[in-house]
Amino acid sequence: MTTLKIGDKAPNFSSKDQDGKLHNLADYIGKKLVVFFYPKASTPGCTAEACDLRDNFERFSQNNYALLGVSADSEKAQSKFKEKNNLPFPLLADENKEVIQAFGVWGPKKFMGRTFDGIHRTTFVIDEKGVIEDIISDVKTKEHASQILK
């Protein structure tokens, strides 16, 4: 699905979060960055994933990680999702799918016998210099933090 590989330079991105604040890859140089792509805010799997990351946020912070969630939801939907679940990290509202396309996580999916285009739940771990050090495509939503913080 994604053509990015471990060792590749992460795509330079620029997108607004739930509050309209702009985030760029360059903002995170010097920190490890977890960019997790999820299909839709406030759905059961996405909520389980975001809440698992929230519940382990202190561990991420102690290990110099920043987290960014990304979906094609609107700023308003991302804001409600963040507020309702008390998420301590920004959620990018990538409605035009620029970041989603740059990371190569948009494409055909099958659900209940139907094929449609959508976001493939994928997480990228980017090192302090902007290089991809891990790609997780088999995301376990209820234990995703342990997949990242091995």
Catalytic (active-site) positions: 46
CA 123 – CA 103 distance, rounded (Å): 10
CA 105 – CA 69 distance, rounded (Å): 13
Q: What does the chain come to in residues?
A: 150
8 A C-beta contact, residue 17 and residue 78: yes
CA 12 – CA 5 distance, rounded (Å): 15
